[in-house]
A and B are shown apart, each in its own frame.
Chain A
Amino acid sequence: DVKVTQSSRYLVKRTGEKVFLECVQDMDHENMFWYRQDPGLGLRLIYFSYDVKMKEKGDIPEGYSVSREKKERFSLILESASTNQTSMYLCASSTSSTGGYTFGSGTRLTVV
């Protein structure tokens, strides 16, 4: 069964900490995505990548960066965590042909 794995289900971090969220897929997908999900706002795209070492800003990239050194791994980095980054973070991957995404189980991040 195809899988997207996010390393942590729950994380609690302090304001100002550097935070790494990891995502690994085993489907050899070209494209990978990071979303955040907040009540009433749906899913908002932070960054995406369509190839190794390639990255593109999504709709809300401020305060975030990403890294894709290998095809299967896409990391989201919060350079200096703030309380307004408390959210559910969802990783997804896809091929380019039909657009269907496979999602990870999500990481619920709380910044205190």
Chain B
Amino acid sequence: AQSVTQLDSQVPVFEEAPVELRCNYSSSVSVYLFWYVQYPNQGLQLLLKYLSGSTLVKGINGFEAEFNKSQTSFHLRKPSVHISDTAEYFCAVFMNTGFQKLVFGTGTRLLVSP
């Protein structure tokens, strides 16, 4: 069965500093990978996705992620964060064969302070 691990439940960072949110997955078949962001009291919004092709994926709000098949990772990065990036970030994996549902990690809360 596939699973997603987000080891960091919370990541504090200062404004304008770089940040990396880690995501590892386990799956024996090829997958699609997603990052979602959730601002306070809102639903989840798609940040970026990897389906195929280039392993470096760029998303909204200056975020990017790199798919590393050998390390089964899909870490999210931003070179310079803003206060407005404070939110919860969810990594998710989807098997691209047959009907399968997205499996989500437990989320990482990014706290950006001035």
**Residues of A at under 8 Å CB distance from B?**
4, 6, 9, 33, 40-43, 45, 48, 50, 58, 90, 92, 94, 96, 98-106, 108
Contacts and interface: CB of A to CB of B under 8 A. Distances in A.
Contacts of A42: 90, 104-107
Contacts, number: 55
B80 interface: no
Contacts of A43: 44, 90, 104, 107
B26 interface: no
A6 B44 CA distance: 13
Among A33, A48, A101, A106, chain B packs the most CB atoms within 10 A around the CB of: A101
Contacts of B45: 103
B101 A45 contact: yes
Given A40-B9, A105-B43, A99 B94 contact: yes
A19 B70 CA distance: 46
Contact of A99 (B32, B43, B106, B107): B32
Interface string B56-93: 00000000000000000000000000000000001000
Interface in B19-75: 32, 34, 36, 41-46, 49, 51
Interface residues of B, number: 23
Given A40-B9, A42-B105, A90-B43, A50 B99 contact: yes
Which 6 A-B residue pairings sit nearest by Cβ, starting from the closest? A99-B94, A42-B106, A103-B43, A103-B44, A43-B104, A105-B43
Given A42-B107, A48-B101, A103-B43, 19 more contacts: A4-B43, A6-B43, A9-B41, A42-B90, A43-B90, A43-B104, A43-B107, A92-B44, A98-B32, A98-B51, A98-B94, A98-B96, A100-B32, A100-B34, A100-B49, A103-B44, A105-B42, A106-B41, A106-B43
Contacts of B102: 94, 99, 101
Nearest to B100: A99
Contacts of A40: 9, 106
B109 to A, nearest CB: 10
